[in-house]
Amino acid sequence: MAIATHGTASNYLQRAPSPSGLADVVELILDKGLVIDAYVRIAVIGIELITIDARIVIASVDTYLRFAEAVNRLDLTQTEAAGLAELRDGGGDGKAKGMVEGAKDALSGEGDRKKERAKRG
């Protein structure tokens, strides 16, 4: 029954033992888990105060223009290695950091790796 964090020499991705970000905990605790019939569940107040940083994709002209702008900003000479590395082993050094996510990524295993920011236009 031990819950040791699995650690190997080639640990590329660290498993986090518990949710630490608000979005994760909200998803886990407010959206999931046993619900008991309404008559015993007493009101939870304050949920509306919580903001979740998940971005929902909405197919709209605004979204399209944003994608167009992002594509036009790309410096393809910088990200060449990344683009060609699709579904096979990495190894190029053009590690591009997502522009949009940012704050949401805190929990990912990226802390273990050296991030190299791709040059931005």
Partner 1 sequence: MALQSPTAGGTDASAATALYLYGVTWADVARPQPGAGVHGESVEAVPYRELAGLTSAVESTKVPAKRRDLLRHAEVLGTALVHGTVLPLRFGVVFENGTTLVEDFLLPRYAELTQLLRKFEGRVELSVKAFFREEAILAEVVRANPRITRLREATRAASDASTYPLRVELGERVAAELQERTLRDRQALLDRLSRLAVDVQVDQQPIEHQVLGASFLVERERVALFDDAMNELAQEQAERMHFKYLGPLAPHSFVGLTAEAR
Binder of partner 1 out of 103, 107, 114, 116 (CB under 8 A): 107
11 binds partner 1 (CB under 8 A): yes
Other Cβ atoms closer than 10 A to 24 = 16
Secondary structure element (H or E) that encloses residue 63, with its range: helix 61-73
CB of 116 to partner 1, least distance (A): 11
Q: Which of residues 35-64 bind partner 1 (CB under 8 A)?
A: 35-37, 39-47, 49-50, 54-57, 59, 61, 63-64
DSSP secondary structure code for residue 98 in this structure: P
Q: Which of 121, 71, 116 is nearest to 94 (CA)?
A: 116
101 binds partner 1 (CB under 8 A): yes
1 binds partner 1 (CB under 8 A): yes
CB of 26 to partner 1, least distance (A): 7
Q: What is the dihedral of CA 75, 80, 81, 85, to 10 degrees?
A: 110
